Homo-oligomer: A and B are copies of this chain.
Amino acid sequence: MNSDERRQKIIDAAITVLLDKGVAASRMNDFVEASGLSKGGVYHHFDSKEDLLIGVLEYFMQEFIVIIQLEEPPVSSAYQQLEQLLHAHESMMLDLGRYTQLFIDFLSQSPYLPRFQQMIRNHYELFHSQLVEIIQRGIQRQEFLPTTNPEAIAAGLMGVFDGVGIALTITQNKIEFPHYAVESAMAMLRGILNDEFR
């Protein structure tokens, strides 16, 4: 097993620990045990605990980005493009549903870990600006009402998914919630549709 593979093994092991105990309660020892390596072994691959967590976060973001970017190039209709994006997001939630808690955890830690902060902010702003762009195109194409505030709707769409992700960690009604996110996001989109498109 080469160094990169070993690194990934450690990250995988760390994720199982993080899912089980949460970021705040996970100890370096837990990662070490789960990895099957020794303490020194893990430290050989990651200089510190924060480094390992960054590794996990990077792996997540990259997985997430892959999913989002699997989308085909802009279709003509902004509405349809958004609809596709939302469904892609739903699939991801269903696949990675267990990971929502982890996202929240990282988020919660981020104000005190500048490197987290920056990564998450970049990621958020990238996604937000993509959505803004699509919505603006929809307004130009007169699919959406001219009074639409693209920034607000973009924030709202992202919020629905993040917020429902949170709800997912609170209630036990796990199965329905990803679909609720799409359903209410779709309602939001209908709410900005020009009458002729309804």
Contact = CB atoms under 8 A, between A and B. Distances in A.
Given A104-B104, A151-B180, A112 B167 contact: no
B183 A149 contact: yes
Contact of A184 (B153, B166, B167): B153
A25 B158 CA distance: 28
Interface residues of A, number: 59
A21 interface: yes
Q: A156, A158, A166: which has the most chain B beta carbons within 10 Å?
A: A156
Contacts of A111: 22, 101, 169
Interface string A82-99: 000000000000000000
B155 A180 contact: yes
Q: A148, A166, A183: which has the most chain B beta carbons within 10 Å?
A: A166
Give this chain's copy count.
4
Contact of A162 (B124, B159, B195): B159
Main secondary structure of the interface of A (DSSP, over half): helix
A187 B184 contact: no
A30 interface: no
Interface stretch (A3-11, A59-67, A170-178): A170-178
A170 to B, nearest CB: 5
A36 interface: no
A153 B108 contact: no
B112 A171 contact: no
A158 B169 contact: no
A122 to B, nearest CB: 10
14 contacts: A23-B108, A24-B109, A104-B107, A110-B170, A117-B170, A121-B171, A153-B187, A155-B164, A155-B180, A155-B181, A159-B161, A159-B180, A163-B164, A186-B191
